[in-house]
Amino acid sequence: MLEEPQLNGRIASVINKLTNSAGWRAREELKGALRGPDTKPDVLITRAYGPPVVIETEYPPATTLADDCMKSIGRELDPAVANASGRVSTVIAIRATDELHQCATGDDAQQMLEDGHEIEYAAYQGTDKRHARFPQGGFIKGNVRDLVDFIRPAAEPQDTINFATQAFEQGVEDAAMLILGCASYTNIGEAIGSTLRQQWPSHPNETPSKQIDLQQEKADQDAREQTAKMTATMMINALAYQQNLAGYSAEVEVNGQKETRIIKSLGQIRKLTGFHPDDVIAEWDNILSINYWPIFHIAKRLLAIIPPTAATHLLDNMAKTANAIQDAIKQNDVAGTVFQRLIADRQTLATYYTRPESTTLAAYLAIPDDLDWADPETLKNYRIADYACGSGGLVLAAYQRARNLHLNHGGNPDSVHAHMMENSLTACDIMPAAVHLTSSLLSSVAPREHYRGTRNVLYPFGGTGETDNKGNPIVDIGSLELLNLKAARRQQAVLPLNQQMVLGATQERRAIEVEMVPRSQSLVIMNPPFTTPTNHAADHAKPGNPAYAAFNTTLAEQKAMSKKVKRLANDTISDGNAGLGTQFAAIAHNMVKSGGQIALILHLSAMLGGSDSPSAKSWQKLRGLLAKEYGDVVVVSIAQNKDVDSSFSADTGMAEVIIIARRLASRERRRSLVHFVNLAERPATKLAAQETAKAIRRAIARLTQPGDHSEIEIGNEKVGTIRLEKVSPAEKWTTVRVANMELVQVATELAQGKLRLPQSKDAVPIPMTPMGSIGRVGPLHRDIASGPQEPDRGPFTKSAGANSGTEWPFLWNRDSKSQQGMEVSPDSHGIIKSGEDEEAGEIWQRASNLHISNELRFNSSSTSAAFTQQVSMGGSSWPNFLMKSPEMEKAACVWLNGTLGLISFWTNSNRTQSGRGRTTVRAIPTIPMLDISKLSKKQVRSAVQIYDDLCHKSLLPTNEAWRDPVRQELDRRLLTEVLDLNDSAVEQLAILRNQWCREPTVTGAKNTGPDS
């Protein structure tokens, strides 16, 4: 039997082997290591970079394990014993196995641990008075390598990071105001803008008087503030890094002689009267003579522009911020968080910040852990790229994951850092500050490792100031140049001698070429802009085409850029109607190698867009590409009530998905299988994110056949669900943002003609068919009556109001107050345009009594279908659906407003917005419904009778079906009188009804669901 102290020593020994190069030191049974009584932690881990960690171990049943953890949390180290200082804010609880307990010797136990024997563990984080446990219940199972991986984020001082982020944000705001103040009287602003290649519009000579002038001035002020904030961010970032480098020395060669240079702290260069910019610049020159060009060069140039008097006050303020954040920026994307929060142009660029927990989730899911990570060549050859990098959060997370995999296998990733920076990490953007921050982040991973250059590319974007022989502007389009691989652009010249376009490590000014070799990347990871050609930036003056409106491009330049992108994107999945997301997805496909992974964060419409809208066609192309040329496809969404809580980015307010996929080799079998993951909520921390990714992988391994589904658990906590499906590229991928996978199974089988209700062993056959096979959808509303944007379209002019004597009645608008029953009245009428009688007659042949809602607000609208006593023409909200007889239309209206019909509608609708399901006249024919044509005359008469009895009764909003007596009566009679099912089926349908009403996308943000 192996006693606990012996096991503790073996756990410490294995940890030391795995973390030797990371500066960790694990020691067991170190009495007196913590100040205070009864302080002998089972294992104490001190780390070169980071606070100490304690491990407490017990064999099952481990009844005192939690109490033992509480004895250590919040305690200070005794430096005399521990040879280190710091406060313990993380304690790891390990529940060892009986197999380890049965080991005869410590050597046997160590061998088991080194061979991957799994133990159970959890983390306590905080202080003795205020702490949290992760997971909240139960334990995570893994080997010691997994444990080391777990400890890294568990030991991150989250409070420190949060404080630093807030301090950095406030410091940037304050510094930017000082910069704006001194820039308003001189040409300082223009010089800063020129240095950053950003706009600094001049102030107007007079107060704007017209509305358009006021709008333009606001846009100009936003641009000035953005540039000032970028300037402050980069200078504070440099000051904080200087503090972290203070005391570091290195030999440099000066005029053929070697000199030792020592980096000074801010305190060493501050005088009694404050900071003088010349002293700071001199020290930054000293640092640049060693290395760190990406961090300090542009910061130095910016500081040199500020007048000395103003710079002294500015530096005093920025130094305080730098001191407050210096610890947090060592391994965390604090600068990137602030940068993305503060830039004003993000509404136009639609380049939102990817949350650190989202970057972690994507990286852990994308990077395979079954490579030979012990071999440094594996890390050196693992090429990571982000062609829309922003501040670098995704490429940093991926690089850190790859480094940690090598580290966890006993490697030393710092030894290959220079190679990675020079050859393996590609980050591109059109914003100079973004590329600067990405370089800073990647440099900070191993700040004292020298490298000669980077693959961090600042792509030119916008007009060049030149025109072609036809007078059209010659333009640059950023990394979208990579859309076309047939143009022999294998090498992209990125550093003309007069521009700093690649941020390298030294001041050597030479033309640098970064090879952009197709199909060369191990991982392409991106959160591309989701901008579309639609003008959606209301707070910017005349952005024109938002996809190309950054940096004050003219309308002519935007048009030329759009035309160039369209030409380069020919024969790809790119489509401008769906926005830049598809274009960057096409680039990812161009650049990833066979066997490599892509990881994309995209709008939810990438899954739910079908052939029913112009923008959806390209999303269909993306799904087709994934189904045909990729394997191991995982789609992750978040099933939350609010759109903002279903996003992986910050502040988008839109639901998103993470798509992970591996590009297949030419001879690999194409299986068209996708694992759909629906998380209960977005992971709150990087620790939760990485363990969620691991739990997803464990769940994937359990699913073997299409239709299999499983819960995703961390410890005893359910964090989501997963379902394996065989997909068709021609159809929507609808298993996203769904909380209950049983609903998906019911909807899938229902579409196949099998009704499987809860608590029922067997499915009941019922006739089902696509709507288009038993009826004809009406015309598009624009083909009926003209609108303000298309006054010449359609044979009718629409006019408000209708009555029983109206010749050409229309049902045009949705009104949740007046349209609460199945039977409604027309709300408008048409007037035939002069000379359009024949076309009007042809259009009217498609009028009907039955109308289908094409935008159903589940939490406010009562019906998905409506019936008018007069044959009427359906408008923008109520397209027609013409069947063989009014009786069939009444029967269809009953089905579509019952629970089963609503579930079919919901499943096949576009649910990108909470509480709303959208469809179109193109998509309506594909919705599965009860095949009325297969019913007997008696069944049809029964359905008609249900309609006649209930059509004038008010229904509650559809998400309140759980408490709606009218809808429940409709359901009961539909099951028993039409489908000939018994009362047991009615009770089972009640369970299904409640399940559907609980779905986040059904209830949305309203508290009207079953649990409200």
Residue-wise DSSP of 408-444:
HTT--GGGGHHHIIIIIEEEEES-HHHHHHHHHHHHH
Calpha distance 515→238 (Å, rounded): 29
The single residue listed with the structure tokens 């007659």 is: 841
Calpha distance 729→637 (Å, rounded): 19
The single residue listed with the structure tokens 């464990």 is: 698
Calpha distance 633→723 (Å, rounded): 12
| pLDDT value for 325 | 84
Report which of residues 115 and 39 the model is more confident about: 115
Tokens of 715: 């410890």
126 has which bridge partners? 131
Calpha distance 980→755 (Å, rounded): 13
**Residue 341: is its pLDDT beyond 60?**
no
Calpha distance 940→930 (Å, rounded): 11
**Residue 429: is its pLDDT beyond 60?**
yes
* pLDDT, mean of residues 328-354: 57
* pLDDT, mean of residues 310-320: 95
Phi, psi of 335 (to 5 degrees): -60, -40
Report which of residues 697 and 448 the model is more confident about: 697
Burial 313-327 (b: 16+ CB within 10 A, else e): bbbebbbbbbbbbbb
Burial 881-915 (b: 16+ CB within 10 A, else e): bbbeeebbbbbbbbbbbbbbbbbbbbbbbbbbbbb
**Residue 448: is its pLDDT beyond 80?**
no
Q: Is 397 exposed, middle or buried (0-12, 13-18, 19+ CB in 10 A)?
A: buried
Least-confidence region, from 512-516, 581-585, 770-774: 512-516
The tens digit of pLDDT for each residue in 970-1002 reads: 999 999 999 999 999 999 999 999 999 999 999
Tokens of 515: 């090879």
Calpha distance 594→39 (Å, rounded): 54
**Residue 832: is its pLDDT beyond 90?**
yes
Identify the band that residue 508 occupies on the pLDDT scale cut at 50, 70 and 90: very low
Indicate the SS3 state at residue 571.
coil
Q: What count of other Cβ atoms lies within 10 Å of the Cβ of residue 191?
A: 17
**Residue 849: is its pLDDT beyond 70?**
yes
| pLDDT value for 523 | 99
**Residue 338: is its pLDDT beyond 70?**
no
* pLDDT, mean of residues 129-145: 94
**Residue 836: is its pLDDT beyond 80?**
yes
| pLDDT value for 217 | 82
From the list 117, 111, 120, the residue with the least C-alpha distance to 99 is 117
For residues 511 and 494, is the Cβ–Cβ distance under 8 A? no
Least-confidence region, from 129-138, 541-550, 625-634, 993-1002: 541-550
Least-confidence region, from 791-800, 830-839, 870-879: 791-800
Torsion (CA) 11, 12, 15, 19 in degrees, nearest 10: 180
| pLDDT value for 205 | 58
**Residue 323: is its pLDDT beyond 60?**
yes
Calpha distance 191→231 (Å, rounded): 11
Calpha distance 103→450 (Å, rounded): 47
Report which of residues 499 and 222 the model is more confident about: 222
∠ CA 1003-1007-1010 to the nearest 5 degrees?
70
**Residue 632: is its pLDDT beyond 50?**
yes
Identify the band that residue 331 occupies on the pLDDT scale cut at 50, 70 and 90: low
Tokens of 68: 């033992």
CA 907 vs CA 732, 752, 927: distances in Å: 10, 14, 9
Calpha distance 715→717 (Å, rounded): 6
Phi, psi of 488 (to 5 degrees): 60, 30
CATH for 347-739 (3.40.50.150, 3.30.830.10, 2.60.40.10, 3.30.590.10) = 3.40.50.150
Mean of per-residue pLDDT scores for the chain: 88
**Residue 494: is its pLDDT beyond 50?**
no
Calpha distance 357→361 (Å, rounded): 6
> In the chain, what percentage of residues exceed pLDDT 70?
91
| pLDDT value for 492 | 42
| pLDDT value for 570 | 86
* pLDDT, mean of residues 229-254: 87
From the list 724, 719, 776, 768, the residue with the least C-alpha distance to 747 is 768
CA 1003 vs CA 707, 735, 860, 909: distances in Å: 26, 17, 9, 15
The tens digit of pLDDT for each residue in 673-695 reads: 999 999 999 999 999 999 999 99
The tens digit of pLDDT for each residue in 639-667 reads: 999 988 999 998 777 899 999 999 999 88
Calpha distance 346→825 (Å, rounded): 45
Calpha distance 808→831 (Å, rounded): 7
**Residue 172: is its pLDDT beyond 70?**
yes
CA 323 vs CA 357, 510, 990: distances in Å: 25, 35, 61
| Residue 7: alpha-carbon gap to chain centroid | 42
Three-state SS string over 66-82 comes to HHHHHHHCCCEECHHHH
Q: Is 477 exposed, middle or buried (0-12, 13-18, 19+ CB in 10 A)?
A: buried
Report which of residues 233 and 44 the model is more confident about: 44
**Residue 520: is its pLDDT beyond 90?**
yes
| Residue 158: alpha-carbon gap to chain centroid | 21
Q: What count of other Cβ atoms lies within 10 Å of the Cβ of residue 254?
A: 9
For residues 603 and 592, is the Cβ–Cβ distance under 8 A? no
| pLDDT value for 534 | 47
Residues 6+ apart with CB under 8 A from 534: 546
| pLDDT value for 304 | 95
Helix 983-997 to helix 741-751 angle (10° resolution) is 120
Identify the band that residue 496 occupies on the pLDDT scale cut at 50, 70 and 90: very low
For residues 125 and 136, is the Cβ–Cβ distance under 8 A? no
> In the chain, what percentage of residues exceed pLDDT 90?
63
Least-confidence region, from 278-287, 449-458, 867-876: 449-458
Indicate the SS3 state at residue 769.
strand
Considering the domain 4-155 in this protein, what is its CATH number? 3.90.1570
Phi, psi of 794 (to 5 degrees): 85, 145
| pLDDT value for 346 | 43
Identify the band that residue 552 occupies on the pLDDT scale cut at 50, 70 and 90: confident
From the list 964, 935, 988, 989, the residue with the least C-alpha distance to 822 is 964
Indicate the SS3 state at residue 235.
helix
Q: What count of other Cβ atoms lies within 10 Å of the Cβ of residue 296?
A: 28
The single residue listed with the structure tokens 């986040």 is: 1000
SS3 content of the chain, % helix, strand, coil (to 5): 40, 20, 40
Residues 6+ apart with CB under 8 A from 931: 767, 768, 769, 773, 774
Residues 6+ apart with CB under 8 A from 11: 26, 28, 43, 55, 57, 94, 113, 144
Report which of residues 290 and 704 the model is more confident about: 704
Can you give the residue ranges of every domain in the chain? Answer: 4-155, 161-203+213-344, 347-739, 768-1003
For residues 847 and 779, is the Cβ–Cβ distance under 8 A? no
**Residue 576: is its pLDDT beyond 70?**
no
